[in-house]
Amino acid sequence: MSGAAPVPASRRGWCPGIARPMATGDGLLVRIHPRHGCLTTAQLGGLADLAERYGNGPTDVTSRGNLQLRGVAEADHGALSDALAGLGFIDDLPATGPQRIVFLDPLAGLDGLRDLRPLADAIEAALRPLRAKLPGKFCIALGHEGTAPAVAADLEVAVDADGNAVVRLRDVWPPEADAPYSPPTCGEGLGVGVTTKEGGCLPGWTPPLPNPPPQGGREQAAGLPVRIAALVSEFLANNPGKRSPRQRNDVPANYLGLLPAGEQPILAVAPAFGRLAAADMRRLAGWAGRHGAGELRLTPSRAVLIPHLDRGAADGLMREARAAGFIVDADDPRVLLVACPGRPACRSAFAPAQADALRLAGVAGLFGAMHVSGCAKGCARQAPAPLTLVGEAGGYGVVLDGTARDAPLAVRSVAEIETLLQAVVATGPSRGEAIAALARALRPELGKEMPR
């Protein structure tokens, strides 16, 4: 099976897939969009084999619960696509548009609340005819009110404990097909409409339409919220489900450790930087097969969940996971690190981003999230971070409260940055004081302007 021509990495606002891989400096990047973010043990084990055979070894978990292989030779793309199809991973939309529209709460059907998986399927099916006209990264986040998945989305649907639903839009609607993609997290400054079990539309609310009137796909997208609301209403009316006595509030946002789920807890582990070595994939598949129900799920925090765990095996597996190098504790300093593969995995990289991020982990925690990027493309994180290091000739550009694309305050070697951070942290400052002190150290002429 052979797909469309690879798309260059410089093109923004689209999403690579199996049939439509992205050409990068180290070969093709092939992204897999598992249905509901779920995998079987056979799929994960099979992917480990394919990553070693056709990719550069590891497989990355993305912030939308997808998996991607890097370093695939163009000559191998057809064979890899066939092998992925054999595992049940098939892109059915090779030309344009999103491969998967709905990002579903990773705990759907596991948390005692109404199971939203059928609703996810209904939305996917209803929007299938429109997909080719939607932006490649178009995303609907679906979950329960208060616990909806923390994923950047264009539209969020959250079902509440009474069986109503809230539909939230991003602030620019409809999304531009070719615009650089940096949506806000839903819930921040978005228009809100409410649909009830009895209603079929959004009472008293009309989606904002652009002026002049939209054409083609944008026109379709403009009407989407109302269509989604109608689908949700129909689903809720036909699937009364359980009324939940409470909102789920006992699962940490970063999904780590043993998560409560009745008699069968969920093991939640994260590989550093979302990067799974083939051996780790086989290890996880083995655990899910021996101690779970043969199922694994991917989260927006790049963790892997093993649900339906044998209670008696849970504590032992936690210890095993920790010993194997997985992140299982919320206070692990690696939780705050985001880094792209960098050198040597990516030929566009100026620096070994992940190795340098680990080197700085002990002194970067005070700043909150730290993003280390091998180059200014900033693949691993589009949103601003308190501290961003951007690989370039001669070292790292240091950006405070910005993204990898922003102009750096200064360029320093990783050793110089480490020394600077150690000096700042040694004074025991607050986060704000630390950022101001680092800015002054990098650009003394800014000293008078920076808060102290």
> For ligand SF4, which is the closer residue by CB, 20 or 144?
20
- Pattern 338-377, ligand SF4, x by CB under 6 A: --xxx---x-xx-----------------------xxx-x
Q: Does 22 bind ligand SF4 (CB under 6 A)?
A: no
> For ligand SF4, which is the closer residue by CB, 140 or 340?
340
We find the least distance from the C-beta atom of residue 391 to ligand SF4, in angstroms, to be 7
> For ligand SF4, which is the closer residue by CB, 8 or 216?
8
> For ligand SF4, which is the closer residue by CB, 22 or 107?
22
* Three-class DSSP labels, the chain: CCCCCCEECCCCCCCCCCCCCEEECCEEEEEECCHHHEEEHHHHHHHHHHHHHHCCCCEEECCCCCEEEEEECHHHHHHHHHHHHHCCCCCCCCCCCCCCCEEECCCCCCCCCCCCHHHHHHHHHHHHHHHHHCCCCCCEEEEECCCCCCCECCEEEEECCCCCEEEEECCCCCCCCCCCCCCCECCCCCCEEEECCCCCCCCCCCCCCCCCCCCHHHHHHHCHHHHHHHHHHHHHHHCCCCCCCCCCCCCCCCCCEEECECECCEEEEECHHHEECHHHHHHHHHHHHHHCCCEEEECCCCCEEECCCCHHHHHHHHHHHHHCCCECCCCCHHHHEEECCCCCCCCCCCCCHHHHHHHHHHHHHHHCCEEEECCCCCCCCCCCEEEEEEEECCEEEEEEEECCCCCCCEEECHHHHHHHHHHHHHCCCCHHHHHHHHHHHHCHHHCCCCCC
We find the least distance from the C-beta atom of residue 94 to ligand SF4, in angstroms, to be 24
> For ligand SF4, which is the closer residue by CB, 379 or 425?
379
> For ligand SF4, which is the closer residue by CB, 22 or 421?
22
We find the least distance from the C-beta atom of residue 296 to ligand SF4, in angstroms, to be 25
Number of residues that bind ligand SF4 (CB under 6 A): 12
- In the list 47, 284, 379, 436, the residue contacting ligand SF4 (rule: CB under 6 A) is 379
Q: Does 378 bind ligand SF4 (CB under 6 A)?
A: yes
We find the least distance from the C-beta atom of residue 396 to ligand SF4, in angstroms, to be 12
We find the least distance from the C-beta atom of residue 276 to ligand SF4, in angstroms, to be 16
> For ligand SF4, which is the closer residue by CB, 127 or 349?
349
Site for ligand SF4 in 143-202 (CB under 6 A): none
- Pattern 304-343, ligand SF4, x by CB under 6 A: ------------------------------------xxx-
Which residues sit at the interface with ligand SF4, rule CB under 6 A?
340-342, 346, 348-349, 373-375, 377-379
